[in-house]
Chain A
C-alpha cells in the first residue's frame, strides 16, 4: 500500500519526462550491459570500467534502449515477456511493461511515446503505448521477427523475419505492411543513414549486409565480408551501428570474432578488427570516439578506439552479454 503511490508517482514523472522534447542532459557516464544468463544489467563506470552496480531484471534481459531524455533505460526481459524500466539516477527497476511472447528487440518512435517490439514466438510485432504500458496494436509478420528499427523520420518501421528471410516495411501511421523485401539468409539487425535513405540489414547466415533504398524499398547493394583466415561459414554478421554522420558502419561478425569497418558511401570494407567470441552487440558513444562490442561467448565487452581501431581493453561482464548502452 505504501509502495504503490511511489510507483505511480515515478511512473507519472516518467511519462512527463518522456513527453518533454529530447534535450540531452549530460549522462552519468555509465555503461549498461545486459546479461542473458544472469537476469541482470551490469553497470560499469565509463572511465574505469569497474562494476558500479548489478541491477536485477526479469529473466533473460536482451535488447536495451535509453529514453530520449536520458533518464530511463528500457530492458527487454525475454522470458518474462516484459520490458523493465530502469531509473538511471537510482539504478533500479521502477516499472515493468508486459509485452508479447518471446520478445527480443525493440525500438521507440521518435517522440518516445510508443515502442515496437518483435515477438519471435508469435510472428508478431506489438505496438506498446509507453505511458499506458499497454499493447495498442499487433502487426502480423513472418516467422521469428527479430531486428526492428523505426526510420529516422518515424514514418516507417523495418522488421526482419529470420525464417522468411525478409524485411517487412511497415507504415507506422496505419500499421500496414507496405513492402516485403527478400534479403540475405537469416536477416538480423538494422542501421540507417541519418536521412533514412539507406537501410542496412545484417544477414547472419548470408554473411553479408543488404543495403535497402529507404525511399523506394529496392535493394541497392550488398556488402560481403571476408576476413582473412575465416571460411564463409564462420562469418556471421549480426550487430551493426552507424556513426552519427552516416559515413561509417561497424558490423560485428559473430563467429569470426571480428568486426568490420565499412565506408557507407562506397560500401567498401576498410578493416577487420579482432574482438571477443561471438561478437554481436555494437554501440557507439555520443561522439563516436568509442565503439563497444559485446562478445556473447567470452562474456566480455571490447572497448575500441574508433580513430586508431585499437581495442583499448576487454571488460569482463555478466554471463552471455547481449547489449551495451552508454549513458554519456
Chain B
C-alpha cells in the first residue's frame, strides 16, 4: 500500500517533469570580488551612511541560493555558488577562466566600475554572463555596455531620476547642488543635472565641497558657508564616499531637506519597505548577514533569482536559449517591489522601482504616480531606449 503510494508519487513527478534526467543537472554560479574592497571596510560601514552599502553583499546571493533549493530539488537541478577573490582585474580574470573551465556560466561581479568594465571587455564572446551587482556607474550601461553583462543594481541616472521625480511631485523645484572633488562625485552630480533637465528642476547653484578643516578652504569645507546665499527648496549632495554628506543635514544655513547621498536617497532596497512581501525577504537577509540589508544585497539576490527563473521557465535550456529568455520581454522577475521586473533590451539594465527612503522609512516608491511612459512607467527612471548610447 505504502510502496504503491511512493510509486505513484514518483510516477507523478516523472510525468510532471519531462526534463528529469537520470542525474541531476548542475547550474553553477560564482561570486567574483576583490580581496579588499574599501566600500565594505568596517570603518566605512560603521556610519551606516544611507547611500553606502551596509556590508558585503555576498549575503544576498546566499539568501537567493537558499530560496532556490526547494525548486532545485523538485526539478532535479543543483544550484551551486562558488566564491573567488583576486587582488586586481587580472587576478579576477584568472579566477574567472578557471571557474569557467569548471562549468560556471553565471558570474556575480562585486567590484567597482573600472573592474567591471575590464572584466566585461575581456570576456566578450565567451559562453558566460556577468552580473554587475554593485557598480552604479552610468558608463557601464552606456559606452562600456556589453551584451553579456547584466546590471541588477540601479545606476546613477535611475537614482537621480527617482529623486528628481520626488522633488517635482513635492514642488520643490529649485535645488542647490553640492559636488565633491572625486571623479565619482562628478558622475553623481552629472546624473542629477541630467535628471533636473529631464523633469524640469532648477539648479540654483552648483558648489564644490572638500572634506577639509583647512581654513584656507573654508568656503568649500563649511556647510554653513556652502549653503548660504540665495534661496532653494532642497540640497542635493553628490558624494560617492558619503563622509561629507553625512554631515550636511541640520548644518545648512536654511532649514531645507538634504537629498542625494544622505537625508533622502533612492535605493534598490531598504529594510523598512513593508509592502509586496518585503518584510519576509528582509528578515531572511538579516538572518543570513546579521545586519540590515541594502541595495547591493538585493542586487546580488536578484541576479541569482533571475538566472534561476530562466532555468525553471526554460527547463534548463541550452545556454543561448536560456540567455534569450533571461534577456527577453517575457521573463517576469519578482523583486518584492510590486512590479514585474525584466532587463532592458537596449542595455541589460534591470527595470525596477526605486525606494525613496530616509534612515528608517520608505517615503515613496518611484516611478511616482503621474510620471508616465508610453510603454513602461519604470522606463521614466534611467536611460530609456532613445537615451541609450549602448551598442552591442
Interface residues of A (CB under 8 A from B): 102, 120-121, 123, 141-144, 161-166, 169, 171, 174, 176-182, 184-186, 205-207, 216-218, 231-233, 236, 255
CA of A255 to CA of B12, assembled, Å? 36
B334:A179 contact, CB within 8 angstroms: no
List residues of chain A with CB within 8 A of the CB of B334. 162-163, 165, 185-186, 205
> Is B74 in the interface zone, CB < 8 Å from A?
yes
> Is B312 in the interface zone, CB < 8 Å from A?
yes
List residues of chain A with CB within 8 A of the CB of B253. none
Q: Within the complex, what minimum Cβ distance (angstroms) separates B286 from chain A?
A: 11
B312:A165 contact, CB within 8 angstroms: yes
CA of A144 to CA of B8, assembled, Å? 27
The 3 closest A-B pairs by CB, nearest first: A180-B74, A142-B70, A164-B71
List residues of chain B with CB within 8 A of the CB of A141. 70
List residues of chain A with CB within 8 A of the CB of B277. 144, 162, 186
A179:B13 contact, CB within 8 angstroms: yes
B13:A205 contact, CB within 8 angstroms: no
A218:B280 contact, CB within 8 angstroms: no
List residues of chain A with CB within 8 A of the CB of B339. 233
Contact status of A232 and B5, CB under 8 A, knowing A166-B71, A205-B332 = no
List residues of chain A with CB within 8 A of the CB of B283. 121
Known A164-B74, A205-B334; 18 more pairs at CB < 8 Å:
A121-B283, A141-B70, A142-B70, A144-B277, A144-B280, A164-B67, A164-B68, A164-B70, A165-B334, A171-B9, A178-B9, A179-B12, A180-B16, A186-B277, A218-B15, A233-B339, A233-B340, A255-B338
A123:B5 contact, CB within 8 angstroms: no
List residues of chain B with CB within 8 A of the CB of A162. 277, 334
Q: List 22 A-B contacts (CB under 8 A).
A: A102-B280, A141-B70, A142-B71, A142-B74, A143-B284, A162-B277, A164-B68, A165-B312, A166-B70, A169-B12, A174-B5, A176-B5, A178-B9, A179-B9, A180-B70, A185-B334, A185-B340, A186-B277, A205-B334, A218-B16, A236-B338, A255-B338
CA of A268 to CA of B12, assembled, Å? 29
CA of A326 to CA of B333, assembled, Å? 36
CA of A121 to CA of B332, assembled, Å? 23
B5:A165 contact, CB within 8 angstroms: no
A232:B340 contact, CB within 8 angstroms: yes
> Is B376 in the interface zone, CB < 8 Å from A?
yes
Provide the B315-357 mask, 1 if CB < 8 A to any CB of A, else 0.
0000000000000000011100011100000000000000000
List residues of chain A with CB within 8 A of the CB of B74. 142, 164, 166, 180
Q: Within the complex, what minimum Cβ distance (angstroms) separates A250 from chain B?
A: 23
Candidate in A162, A180, A184 with the most chain B CB atoms within 10 angstroms? A180
A185:B332 contact, CB within 8 angstroms: yes
Q: Which residue of B lies closest to A255 (CB)?
A: B338
List residues of chain A with CB within 8 A of the CB of B8. 178
Q: Within the complex, what minimum Cβ distance (angstroms) separates B11 from chain A?
A: 10
Q: Within the complex, what minimum Cβ distance (angstroms) separates A76 from chain B?
A: 16
List residues of chain A with CB within 8 A of the CB of B313. 182
B312:A182 contact, CB within 8 angstroms: yes
Q: Which residue of A lies closest to B68 (CB)?
A: A164
CA of A255 to CA of B353, assembled, Å? 15
CA of A177 to CA of B338, assembled, Å? 30
Contact status of A163 and B67, CB under 8 A, knowing A178-B9, A233-B376 = yes
Q: Within the complex, what minimum Cβ distance (angstroms) separates A86 from chain B?
A: 27
B332:A206 contact, CB within 8 angstroms: yes
Candidate in B13, B70, B313, B334 with the most chain A CB atoms within 10 angstroms? B70
CA of A162 to CA of B277, assembled, Å? 9
CA of A144 to CA of B9, assembled, Å? 24
B312:A123 contact, CB within 8 angstroms: no
B70:A143 contact, CB within 8 angstroms: yes
List residues of chain B with CB within 8 A of the CB of A186. 277, 334
CA of A171 to CA of B9, assembled, Å? 10
Q: Within the complex, what minimum Cβ distance (angstroms) separates B364 from chain A?
A: 15
In the complex, chain B residues 60-113 whose Cβ is within 8 Å of any chain A Cβ:
66-68, 70-71, 74-75
